[in-house]
Amino acid sequence: MIGNWLKTSILMAAIVALFGVIGGMLGGQQGMVLALLFGGAMNLFAYWFSDKMVLKMYQAREVDSTTSPYLYNIVRDLAGRAGLPMPRVYLIEEAQPNAFATGRNPEHAAVAATTGILELLSERELRGVMAHELAHVKHRDILISTIAATMAGAISALVNFFALFGGGGRDGEGRPNLIVGLALAILAPLAASLIQMAISRAREFEADRGGAEISGDPAALASALRKIEAYAQGIALPAAEMHPETGQMMIINPLSGGNLAGLFSTHPKTEERVARLMAMASSAR
């Protein structure tokens, strides 16, 4: 837990510094000050409201034991097995099978699943997936993941803001420096994606392991991962394509690839995840 808090603090400080550098390059000293203030404000906003922002991006609707008893009861049972408070449960009306967890701590957590994943997976497989998401909650991965997604979008917005209002740096004659502006338009999303890649790969393996322990069924999660990857590759998830910085939150990469979207492919290879889970299943026999 202390490790994740340290990672989160370092990430937030690094993002503010990155905002300052971008602001300085685009708007000089005044731009740096404005960008630092904006970065600080965004950090506060991200801590308290980033989960709500991400859920809104996906038009997720909260459900309960009356509106979606199948999903809700699975999550409630698994949360009890994991020793976690009951998270809020959300459903996303999308055909692509996928799921994610968000929130700032286990007491303020939410899990979300698409309608596609409920239709595709058996109950046993769905339990494996939701146990994986609850493992993210238990490991306190969700804060740093959600903040990274929100701040990556904010970095791109900062570049667009300065570009819109005549930023991009200025040459010796006071004219906009288009080369600097173009470089920043490329480097800012790249820097954001590198931040996400640094936090995403190892935690997926740990969430697979933790989820398998919570559900008591590593083979079910392995089977679910195979199915989700096979179907997700052929079905678009529009919200993820519009906000590729959120792709690292999903259990399987939801992006179709191409352009900058490929930079946000932060998941380990599914074959390796499946192999590790099947090794767990074998050792448990």
Choose the catalytic residue: 125, 133, 204, 229: 133
Tokens of 244: 């590729």
Amino acid code (one letter) for 23: G
Q: How far apart are CA 198 and CA 181, in angstroms?
A: 26
* CB distance 241 to 94 below 8 Å: no
Token readout for 246 is 């959120």
Q: At what angle do helices 69-82 and 178-215 cross, to 10 degrees?
A: 80
Known catalytic residue at 133: yes
CA 121 distance to own-chain centroid: 22
Distance CA 150, CA 168 (A): 23
Between the alpha carbon of residue 230 and those of residues 75, 224, 226, the distances in Å are 24, 10, 6
What is residue 259's DSSP assignment?
G
Neighbours of 144 (CB within 10 A): 22
Half-sphere exposure of residue 147: CA atoms within 13 angstroms, side-chain side: 31
Q: Cite the active site residues.
A: 133
